[in-house]
Amino acid sequence: MRGFHRAGSGDCFRAARVCYDAGPISERMQAQPLNIFVILGSTRTNRFSEKPGAYIFDELKKREGVRAELIDLRDWPLPFYDEAESPSYLKGRYTNELAKKWAAKIAEADGFIIILPEYNHGYPAVLKNALDWVYSEWNNKPVAFVGYGSALGARSMEQMRQVAVELQMVPVRNAIHIPSAVYMAVMKENAPVSPELFKPLREPTDRVGGLFDQLLWFARVLKAARLAK
């Protein structure tokens, strides 16, 4: 892949000239697991997102050196953004107490996997609003997407990638578009559903593992870069 190379025992991001196995940064990296949040992008009644969300969360927990957390936007009932200034200018000076807690929570993360529905050719308003409430806490962190719905969530995902770039996140290439057959099989079941229903996401091509590998690579490199600032 262009822009990446291996240097000694650790990976380097050529553009930033940052190696996460270098000296004190390496020691801090090894002592700290990567905090990866799985965000459910829907809050609607009978939502589908919690089913693949639980599966991705459980699979992610199996990765060594990862601390996975499931973030349910139902637990974060943020109002539509109504501050007088944008989050980039507020710098945490929110008048809304829940927004302060939300910003602090996002600051804990090193990367994100968003379970992303497609509504009317785009992403859900509740998800966009949750993203809009925070700015610097999203910066310089990778994000991956698991999409479903019309066109397998492809159109929603393409729009969300643009939003992620504007938030100075790094949307990774690898993604999961849940096939219609899997969607229909899972939709009929009550949560929690059997992991076997998601087996087509692993076979014949392991799309779950590929997404994790790429997201975690970027999470390590970008965390090292943030620690080096």
pLDDT at residue 229, rounded to an integer: 79
pLDDT at residue 1, rounded to an integer: 36
Distance CA 221, CA 227 (A): 10
pLDDT digits (tens, 9 = 90+) for 149-160: 989 989 999 999
pLDDT digits (tens, 9 = 90+) for 107-145: 999 999 999 999 999 999 999 999 999 999 999 999 999
Amino acid symbol at 72: D
29 in Cβ contact with 227 (< 8 Å)? yes
Q: Is 188 a residue whose pLDDT tops 60?
A: yes
Count the alpha carbons within 13 Å of 12 in the hemisphere toward its beta carbon: 12
Distance CA 91, CA 126 (A): 22
Measured CA angle at 193 (ends 190, 195), to 5 deg: 170
* H/E segment holding residue 111: strand 111-118
pTM of the model: 0.87
Distance CA 111, CA 213 (A): 12
Q: Is 43 a residue whose pLDDT tops 80?
A: yes
pLDDT band at 20 (very low <50, low <70, confident <90, very high): very low
Amino acid symbol at 133: W
115 in Cβ contact with 40 (< 8 Å)? yes
Phi, psi of 50 (to 5 degrees): -70, -20
The full length of the chain comes to: 229
106: its two tokens: 């996002």
Q: Which residues pair with 147 in a beta bridge?
A: 116, 177
pLDDT band at 8 (very low <50, low <70, confident <90, very high): very low
Amino acid symbol at 88: S
pLDDT digits (tens, 9 = 90+) for 203-213: 999 999 999 99
